[in-house]
Amino acid sequence: MDLKILIMYRNTLTLLLIIAFSLSFSFCQENNYNKIRLFYLGGQSNMDGYGYNRDLPDSLNQTYKNVWIFHGNTAGDQQPNGGLGKWEVLKPGHGVGFFSDGIKNNLSNRFGIELSFIKKLQAIYPNEKIALIKYSKGGTSIDGQAAGNYGSWDPDFKDGTGINQYDHFLNTIKNAFKNNDIDGDGKKDLLIPSGIIWMQGESDAAYTEDIANRYYVNLKRLMALIREKFNNNELPVVIGKISDSKQDKDNQVWNYGAIVQEAQEKYAKTDENAIIVRSTKNYKYSDPWHYNSEGYIDLGEKFAESLQLLLNK
């Protein structure tokens, strides 16, 4: 064999062996981790959750084995400590009123969609470990002009210190990923982002027609940014369609709700990795703005079922 050809052959073989070793090493490294499916829960008050723990059936009123949650502390725009929290095993109490200083989590007497969502997911992914990151805040908009007294998810919204809800979301993610052993078994965890669950839009429907008309563009941008932060531009997104309790003198709480609903439908239709949950129109309310306990239980189940439909497309 010609010497030059022999040298090229040996160099090629060496390169292939190096690549093969690297792939094998990477595979072994990855398999030294616990693989845990990760889902993000975000939005405003109907993601916070206004269900009462006392209303939970026994099947949901439990500590969930192999499920962990990092619930970021809620804070207003311009306020510090947004996104503080610590990983804990999921149990009831992650509804409105929950707070954390990053050292201790203080559970509330309320729950949101997380319990029934996880119950369904455990049936879909039996024997798998699951993690939730939750950050939401009641009354918040995704349009800076609808921030009001509650805050905005618009990354460019600057008021006072310049801290907004998107910044608190980023802080939640940063704090959650600081811990690489969330189950405390001494083995590093590999969190695999697997979906975004988003329940929000009422505040963007409460101010002006112009704000409501911007909802589709704002939603599309925000979901793209959240996907980017989880390093997956095709991450599945499940949107909860807003509804109206009609508990207002003009029989309409959200004056521009129909526009936001149309925008949500458009997003689900035009993004091939998104889907919408419409069961909210059937829910009863505990007040003009929030579903009753049964509504949150059903909504969590519908989020999980819709996520499965999306993944099975």
Q: What is the CATH number of the domain that holds 111?
A: 3.40.50.1110
pLDDT of residue 33: 82
Q: Which domain holds residue 209?
A: 36-311
List per-residue pLDDT tens for the chain, 313 residues long. Answer: 444 443 343 344 344 433 443 433 333 345 678 899 999 999 999 999 999 999 999 999 999 999 999 999 999 999 999 999 999 999 999 999 999 999 999 999 999 999 999 999 999 999 899 999 999 999 999 999 999 899 999 999 887 678 999 999 999 999 999 999 999 999 999 999 999 999 999 999 999 999 999 999 999 999 999 999 999 999 999 999 999 999 999 999 999 999 999 999 999 999 999 999 999 999 999 999 999 999 999 999 999 999 999 988 7
pLDDT of residue 9: 36
**Is residue 27 included in any domain, yes or no?**
no
pLDDT of residue 14: 41
**Is residue 85 included in any domain, yes or no?**
yes
pLDDT of residue 313: 77
pLDDT of residue 31: 61
pLDDT of residue 272: 96
Q: How many domains does the chain have?
A: 1
**Is residue 1 included in any domain, yes or no?**
no
**Is residue 5 included in any domain, yes or no?**
no
Confidence (pTM): 0.89
**Is residue 29 included in any domain, yes or no?**
no
**Is residue 2 included in any domain, yes or no?**
no
**Is residue 170 included in any domain, yes or no?**
yes
b/e map 173-195, b = 16+ CB within 10 Å: bebbeeeeebbeeeeebebebbb
**Is residue 7 included in any domain, yes or no?**
no
